Chains A and B, each alone.
Chain A
C-alpha cells in the first residue's frame, strides 16, 4: 500500500464527525469495518447483489461496497450502529427478534438499515412493497417470511398502532 496516495476524508458517521485516511480504491464498507471499527456493516458479495453492506448516505439507501470511501467527504453516513440506542432497540430490531427474523445475523444489519429507509419514506407499506423494497437484501437462513412480518409489524409500532 503506497501511503503517499492516501486520501484524507472528513465525514459524519452516525451523527459524529469522523476523519480517516484511505486509499482511493477503498470502498466505504472496507473503511467502516477496518478503519473505523464499525463492524456492524457486513460484506457479503462486494458486488452490489446481497445488501449486507447497506448504509444510508445522506439519507439514501446504498450498498457501501459500491461507494468509494473518498466519495463520502462532507457527507453523512448512517450504519446499523446508529440505529436504536444503548439498551433500547429500534422497533425494527425489536420486531426482528420477536418474529425470529434472524438466524446467523449476517444479513440483519442490512435488513435493519433498508427497512428503516423504507418506513421513513412509506410508513405504511403493503407486504408486496416490503418484499420488493428488500429484494436486494439476501438472506440464506430465514426464508424471508419472518423478516417481512417483522418489518410490517415494526411499521405498525412506529405508526403508534
Chain B
C-alpha cells in the first residue's frame, strides 16, 4: 500500500476528471473489499478516489417510481430506513448480512456489486428486484440492468473512467414482497456457500402473477433464473410449484467445488434456498394489511 495517492472529489464532474487523468485509479467506497485487497497485495492502485463526499453517491431517497440507493450508502443506513425495510425486506436483509456491525458502518451495495464477487450477498436481491444501475462516464450517463452489470468473478461492465452513481429499485406493485436467504456453516461473519433471492407478486386469490428468482455463489456471477420464476407464475405457490422452481434453479447453476462446499452440495442447497425464500416472500405478502 506504499505509493498510492488519495483524492476526495466533492462532485461527479470532479470525480470523472480525476478518474480520467489517472491510469491506475481505483474508486474507494467503504473500502471493506478494496482496503483488504490492498493489504493482502492483491490490488496496487496508484490513486484512490474516495467518492463518499459526492452528494449523488450518498443519497438514499424514495421517489415516485423507485428507491434510489446511492452507490456508497452504507448497509447501516439502508437498514435504518423504514421505507426501504417495508418495501424491500429481502434486499435490506441481504445487504445487512454483509460482515459485522463494524463492516455495516462502511460497506455499500455499490461496492458489493462493483467488487463482483460471485458470492456477494446483495446482488441476487438486487436482481430479483429488477434494480437498475445508474452509471456516468466520459461518454455520458447510461443505465444497466443489475443482472448484466457483472461479467465474471471480479469483473464488471464499467469502462475506463466510468463509475456507478446509484442503484434504483423500482417500487413493487401492490401485494408484492421479496426475501433473500444464504447458506453459511456459521451463523454470522461468513461467505455464502449459496444464496437465493425471490421477489413475488400475488393477486387477491393468492395466485402468483409475477416472480423473479436470482441465485448467488453458484456461478461466475449471480444469475437471474427465468425458468424458476416461470415455475412460480400462475401457481398458488403450492409444494409442486416450489419444488419445480427449486429444480430449475439447481439446473441453471454451474457451481465450483472449493473449501466452502462441493459443486453437488451447492447445486442442491441453492434449490432449497429458492423454495424457502419463495415461501418467506409469500408469507410477507400475506402479512401485509
Contacts and interface: CB of A to CB of B under 8 A. Distances in A.
Interface residues of A, number: 32
A61 B80 CA distance: 14
B265 interface: no
A73 B10 CA distance: 13
Contacts of A47: 36, 39-40
A49 B48 contact: no
A136 B101 contact: yes
Contacts of B187: 135
A48 to B, nearest CB: 6
Contacts of A136: 99-103, 188-189
A51 B100 contact: yes
A135 B6 contact: no
Given A49-B189, A66-B35, A135 B3 contact: no
Given A24-B6, A27-B35, A66-B32, A132 B188 contact: yes
Interface string A68-112: 101101000000000000000000000000000000000000000
29 contacts: A2-B3, A5-B3, A24-B6, A24-B48, A25-B1, A25-B3, A25-B4, A47-B36, A47-B39, A48-B32, A48-B99, A51-B102, A60-B76, A62-B105, A66-B30, A66-B106, A67-B31, A68-B35, A68-B50, A70-B8, A71-B8, A71-B50, A71-B52, A132-B188, A135-B100, A135-B188, A136-B100, A136-B103, A136-B189
Interface of B: 1-6, 8, 28, 30-32, 35-36, 38-40, 48, 50, 52, 74, 76, 99-106, 187-189
Interface of A: 2, 5, 7, 24-25, 27, 46-49, 51, 54, 57, 60-63, 66-68, 70-71, 73, 114, 117-118, 132-137
